[in-house]
Each structure stands twice: as structure tokens, then as C-alpha cells.
Amino acid sequence: MTGQGQYEHVFAPLRGVLAWDVRVPGFIDRDDPVPRFAPMGCTVYLVLDKGYLRVDCLGGHGQLGFRAVSEPTPSPHWDLDEGEFAVGGYGSHFLGDDGQLAAITQVRYALNSESDRAAGTVRAAEIRFQYGGVLFLDPIYHWGIRLRGVGAYERWLAWEREDTHTRAVFGQLEEHVWTA
């Protein structure tokens, strides 16, 4: 694993900010007797004390892109004729107690041959928070970005290293760590 380096421009905005929720955008589907939240899984928002970190599936859904935004918005390709735009909160699954502000302490990420170093895209990432919270993001999932917690990065990495087909197509994974 290597340190700060080339992705400092991607993760530096996370230094010194606090996170308090993880939100997935979607829409309210009112076709059923009880309205239901229908998530659109290719975007995830990390709610910060100053704005949001938007994480998107990119390319063939094999890369993650990160950017700071002021608020969640529907993606242009979403057909919102189905219902009104909304977000669902998942922070308690990854950050700990609801409402608890947690500093981002580390981002572990992996690169492969499709990762764009200039654009700052990564194959998968794990964000670690103060008080032990962990959010793992994997964009190669049928429904969008797979969200997992503690231990998911290690399980994913072990599986990726054993998958000779993936390695032959996308090259060896390079692991990196950014520390706040």
C-alpha cells in the first residue's frame, strides 16, 4: 500500500470535516397503497457538516468518482415521472448512533487499469470514521453502489485477488491509503 500521493486532490476536501449521514437518492413511488422509497443506487451522498460528498458509479459501473456538491440533486438521466425526488438515510448503519458527528480519518482505495488517475476515479473505496464507523463502496453491483461496513474491504480484496478473470481483464489492483 502507498500513502497520500496522487489522490490528495480528491480526498483533501475531507480533511477536517465531520460526517453525519450517508444518503442514497431515489424517488417516492406512489403507485402502491403505501408510498415507497425507490432508491437509485448509482449515487451515494456522504452528508458533511459543510455540504456533501457525492460518489457516483462511472464508466461501465466499475469505477467511483468523488466530488463535493452543495446539495443532492437528481441525475439528468433519471426519469422522475415515476415520483418525486427524495433521499434515504443510511448513516446509522455505517457511522454509529444517529446524529453523531464523526471525522473522516482515512480512505483506503484500490485502483485497476480502468482507474483514471487524472480524474481521480477508483475501483472501490473504504471510508473510515472517528469512533470506528466504516463505509465500503463497490460500484460493480447490479443495483448500483454496494454499501457495506466493517470487514467488507478485506473480503472484497481477497475475492478480487482470487478472481483470475477480473485480473486478466482489468489488471492487478493497487492499494492506497489517504489519511486525514
Give per-10-residue mean pLDDT for the chain (180 aa): 71 92 92 89 93 90 91 79 85 77 94 90 95 93 89 93 72 91
Looking at residue 49, its pLDDT comes to 92
Q: Which residues are CB-contacts of 29 (< 8 A; sequence separation ≥ 6)?
A: 35, 36, 37, 38, 82, 83
- The amino acid occupying position 62 is G
User: How far, in Å, CA of 119 to CA of 121, rounded?
Assistant: 6
Query: Measuring CA to CA, which residue among 57, 63, 51 is closest to residue 7?
Result: 63
User: How far, in Å, CA of 127 to CA of 104, rounded?
Assistant: 7
Q: Which residues are CB-contacts of 169 (< 8 A; sequence separation ≥ 6)?
A: none
Looking at residue 16, its pLDDT comes to 92
Looking at residue 167, its pLDDT comes to 66
Looking at residue 125, its pLDDT comes to 97
Let me know the angle formed at the C-alpha of 52 by 157 and 25, rounded to the nearest 5 degrees.
75
